[in-house]
Amino acid sequence: MVEASSRWTYPALIGLLMVSLGISAAPSPLYGIYAETWGFEPITTTVVFAAYALAALLSVLVSGAISDRYGRRPILLVASVGLVAGLLLFTVAGSVPVLIVARVLHGMSVGAIVVVATAALLDLRPGDGAATGRRTGIAFNVGIFLTILATATDAEYGPAPLVVPYAVLAALAAVGFVAVLLMPETHAVDRSVPLAIARPRVPAQISGDFAFAALGVMASWSVLGVFLSLFPTIATVAADTDNLVFGGIVVGGMALAAAVSQQLSGGWDARRSAVVGDVGTAASLGGCVLAVHVGNGWLLAAVSVVLGFFFGLAFGSSLRHLGQVVPPAHRGEVMSAFYVLAYSALAVPTIIAGAAATQWGVDAIFAPFMACVAVACLTAGVLGSRVRGVQPDA
């Protein structure tokens, strides 16, 4: 039954991943409107964003085991409902607490969909793991690009920027719910699987490889957090424009370039690609600081695209390298540790940046923050140049 339905089930799951990651980024072009309308500071923007990241982290740690025990479809159905519920909250939100609740719903839902939909894709095509990983990474970034650009365009030219984008996304999420409802279960339910939070642990023999991969991803994801929360406003102010589409192009262009780099680098050596991505990300961060200082819109857009290319290379290649060296018996523990650090980097540095921006202003903290992240990227690159990789145990 699975093979007969995989012709439409597989792309449907890819589509659900695109919609989910798009929803995760949808508020990014709108945070400036919320801040202006409700009068809140940068720390509030980053707390709302971080609520999503922390909820996604918890969901990532528990949803895999739940889907192993009860099946993929029930979890995907509940998560799809969570997407719609969070979007409906956004359409009626009148206060920051409502935004936080909506983002928590989205974090829990997107985290579950990322884990469980990916597992379902592997159920459908178990011998196609590398290609599936590349396709999901591309789907993530394309979903973010399309949603940010569409949301920014509607916010600039549409009649109800804080309602219409969420309503459209809710309709797409509802289509995803129907698709999951119609697709067969891809996994043999096993009620003997224990319900537990995945335990993060790293075997000693791959500690160097893990440090290299995790530090690179933590650095790149901390950049992603700032780009999705504060950078649309930073870019529009620096370029002396109030056009929200410009902010959407800058951030969306980064996501699209990341998708391109992940597609191109699929056959490259993972470790070397990750090192190039880490070093290139560090250099691009310096370019971002320069572009913000100069205030040229075209330069800002161009540097963001270059940053996105190296960001995608660093993240995708670091993940591929880790997958090549982790012992099969420890995959769950290692990937749990990996995503704990990744989502923590998405949330914690973003909150710190928001608090600092509230205290001293966005302009004052942007360059120091980018410099710290650039140092982390370079450190990851040095670590990567020194590790040789370890063959996983049988």
**One domain, residues 241 and 118:** no
Judge whether 252 lies within some domain.
Answer: yes
Number of domains in the chain: 2
The verdict on 231 and 115 lying in the same domain is: no
- Give the distance between the most distant pair of CA atoms in the chain: 60
Helices (H), the chain: 2-25, 31-38, 42-70, 72-92, 96-124, 129-157, 164-182, 207-229, 231-238, 244-264, 270-294, 297-325, 331-360, 362-386
What is d(CA 377, CA 364) in angstroms, rounded to the nearest whole number?
22
Which residue's structure tokens are 């999503």? 52
In a domain, 194, yes or no: no
Q: What pLDDT is recorded for position 14?
A: 93
63 and 210 housed in the same domain: no
Give pLDDT, residue 331.
65
> Is residue 42 one of the residues assigned to a domain?
yes
Contact status, residue 327 vs residue 203, Cβ threshold 8 Å:
yes
Query: Is position 321 within any domain?
Result: yes
pLDDT value of position 392: 45
What is the residue range of 182's domain? 1-186
293 plus 316 within the same structural domain: yes
Q: Do residues 67 and 162 share a domain?
A: yes
9/77 same-domain check: yes
339: its two tokens: 């995503």
181 and 209 assigned to the same domain: no
Residue 193 lies in a domain: no
Last residue of a domain, which of 162, 186, 210? 186
The SS3 call for residue 239 is: coil
Q: What are phi and psi of 200, to 5 degrees?
A: -75, 130
333, part of any domain: yes
Q: What is the CA radius of gyration of the chain?
A: 20
What integer pLDDT is reported at residue 91 of this predicted model? Answer: 95
Which domain-ending residue is among 186, 209, 238? 186
Residues 347 and 266 in one domain: yes
pLDDT tens digits, the chain, 394 residues: what are they?
Answer: 445 555 789 999 999 999 999 999 999 889 888 888 888 888 998 899 899 999 998 998 888 778 888 888 999 999 999 999 999 999 999 899 999 999 999 999 999 998 888 888 878 877 776 677 778 878 888 999 999 999 999 988 988 889 999 999 999 999 999 999 999 888 776 666 566 666 677 888 888 888 888 888 888 888 888 888 888 888 888 888 888 899 889 889 999 999 899 888 878 888 899 999 999 999 999 999 999 988 888 898 999 999 999 999 998 888 888 877 877 667 667 877 888 888 888 888 888 888 888 888 877 888 898 899 899 999 999 988 887 654 444 3
CATH number of the domain that residue 285 is part of: 1.20.1250.20
Between CA 170 and CA 283 the distance in angstroms is 38
* Predicted pLDDT of residue 206: 86
> Has residue 195 been placed in a domain?
no
Residues 20, 105, single domain; the answer is: yes
Residues 272 and 299 in one domain: yes
Q: Which residues contact 294 (CB under 8 A, 6 or more apart)?
A: none
Q: For residue 221, what pLDDT is reported? A: 85
| Of the candidates 273, 24, 250, 249, the residue with the CA atom closest to the CA atom of residue 140 | 24
- CA distances (Å), 30 to each of 44, 190, 236, 244, 369, in order? 13, 43, 12, 8, 23
Give the pLDDT of residue 62: 85
The alpha carbon of 124 is separated from its chain's Cα centroid by a whole number of angstroms, namely 24
Judge if 218 and 163 occupy the same domain.
no
Contact 326/336 with Cβ under 8 angstroms?
Answer: no
Residue 370 lies in a domain: yes
Question: Three-state secondary structure along 107-136?
Answer: HHHHHHHHHHHHHHHHHHCCCCHHHHHHHH
- Which of 186, 215, 249 is the last residue in one of the domains? 186
Residues 142 and 222 in one domain: no
